[in-house]
Amino acid sequence: MDYRGGVADDGPAPNRPRTVESVEARRLAERLGGSLLPFAEEMFEVIAGEIEEVRSDQETAALTLASCVSTVETGLTMLRHGIPVERAEAPVAALEHARHMAARGMSIDSTLRFYRLGHAFFWEWWIAAVSDEVDDAKRLAAVLAETARFSFAYTDAVSAEVSAELLAERDRRQRRIAAMREDVVAEILAGEAVDAATAERTLGFSLDRPLLAFLCRTEGDPGTLESAAAALVAALGGERPLLLAQGVDALLGWVSVAVSKTADPAAVAAATAEAAPGVHVAVGSVSSGLDGFRSSHDQAVRAQRVVSLAGHRAPSFTRFEDVALVDLLSTDLSSARALVARELGALAEDDERSAVLRDFLRAYLAANGNQTAVAAALGLHRNTVRQRLARAEELRGSAVTQRTSELFAALLLVDALGDSVLGSG
């Protein structure tokens, strides 16, 4: 049934644009528009009484009032002229208010509270005003129902656009911050002249405290990289790290650590492996300052390089100090391979017999040639020790007492890097 003024009690058709047809509502909207500023100021006072940020910041207060004025004005204009709510767009002031909130780190829910409070104030006022305009109860219910559909849809449309703008502004700011941080990190790592205080402000990271660089890499799910970093930081007892993505498969980071709380490497390895079993984690040495920031990073990258050369499967945890010698020996990989071939001779074959004899020689050299100690360490009979020594020297082509340091270096390279330095590499 239709009532005078075009208001229907059964609501709009499903696909019909939502407009306000009642003459009472349009008349009231026009009257309110004539005293818009006092109304918006009163709405602002209600919002300011509930949200502390509005009271404590002058710019926020000014933008909130401007948003109140423009949002109410736009809604009243649409209501008064029968403009479908589907055409509603957030006013410029409301969008600027959203960008302002994003700049201050406000969440979507916190920002939308402005609109919930504002709409509640408007609707309470509107109910009282329409009740004064319309005497007939049935007519009153119809007018309120029609304007309720419009006002709630209008607030929802504006809120959705404001939310989208807040998220977009947050993303823009995060990308700008990330880009600035990447630039500063690149300058530090390149050894350029960088002011430490300025760098700290940009990075949000202290450089004068003990710090440690790390590099997480995966061939699996990139989403596990941050899990590995979080587990590493927690295991080291560190604070909020500085993280930089390196493509989709690597994450670079630095963390402040307390040198008085040296973490057990085995415990750290276990923690990272449990949190991210598909990730390789490499760390540099603890240092400080711009030079320490750079050197620890360089060490983490070099440690990760050793892991890659060794062909280790994830998970892995590698400290540079544990592979520093291997890194040095393998800096020129071609020369490392030549050293292995020259010093090991036929022992440089990738077969089980050669592997057993290489393990034996490492133990022999570690024991300074003490056959009794070697026999005890490997669980061998002394005759077996003599036989293996003779066979190893035969395949090598020279006695173990010749170029002992070079021999040990070759054995270390093969033990750490395997195929990368053997003939099959």
Q: What is the full per-residue pLDDT of the chain (425 aa) written as tens digits?
A: 233 344 444 455 445 557 889 999 999 999 999 999 999 999 999 999 999 888 888 999 999 999 999 999 999 999 999 999 999 999 999 999 999 999 988 888 888 999 999 999 999 999 999 999 999 999 999 999 999 999 999 999 999 999 999 999 999 998 898 899 999 999 999 999 999 999 999 999 999 999 999 999 999 999 999 999 999 999 999 888 999 999 899 999 999 998 656 678 999 999 999 999 999 999 999 999 999 999 999 999 999 999 999 999 999 999 999 999 999 999 999 999 999 999 999 999 988 999 999 999 999 999 999 999 999 999 999 999 999 999 999 999 999 999 999 999 999 999 999 999 986 54
pLDDT at 230: 95
Nearest CA among 147, 140, 59 for reference residue 97: 59
Instruction: Kindly list the distances between the CA atom of residue 31 and the CA atoms of 26, 48, 121, 154, 397, in Å, as whole numbers in the listed order.
Output: 9, 25, 17, 19, 106
306: nearest Cα among 278, 277, 283, 285: 283
Number of helices and strands in the chain (H, E) = 17, 7
Residues in the chain: 425
Q: What is the pLDDT of residues 45-59, one digit of tens each?
A: 999 999 988 888 899
Cβ neighbors of 321 (< 8 A, separation 6 or more) are: 285
Domains in the chain (CATH in brackets) are 2-172 (1.10.490), 201-323 (3.30.70.270), 330-420 (1.10.10.2840)
The whole-angstrom separation of Cα 404 and Cα 425 is 24
Please, are residues 11 and 145 in contact by the beta-carbon 8 Å criterion? yes
What are the two backbone dihedrals, phi and then psi, of residue 273, each rounded to the nearest 5 degrees? -65, -40
Measured CA to CA, the distance from residue 127 to residue 125 in angstroms comes to 6
Q: Check if the beta carbon of residue 336 is closer than 8 Å to that of residue 410.
A: no
For residue 362, which of 313, 325, 413 has the smallest C-alpha distance? 413
End-to-end Cα spacing for the chain: 88
Alpha-carbon gap, residue 407 to 415, rounded angstroms: 12
Whole-number pLDDT of residue 222: 92
Bridge partners of residue 317, in order along the sequence: 281
pLDDT of residue 17: 55
Q: What is the pLDDT of residue 240?
A: 86
- Residue 232 CA, chain-centre distance (Å), reads 15
CA distances for 46 relative to 49, 69, 86, angstroms = 5, 14, 28
Three-state DSSP class for 365? helix
CB 244 within 8 A of CB 251: yes
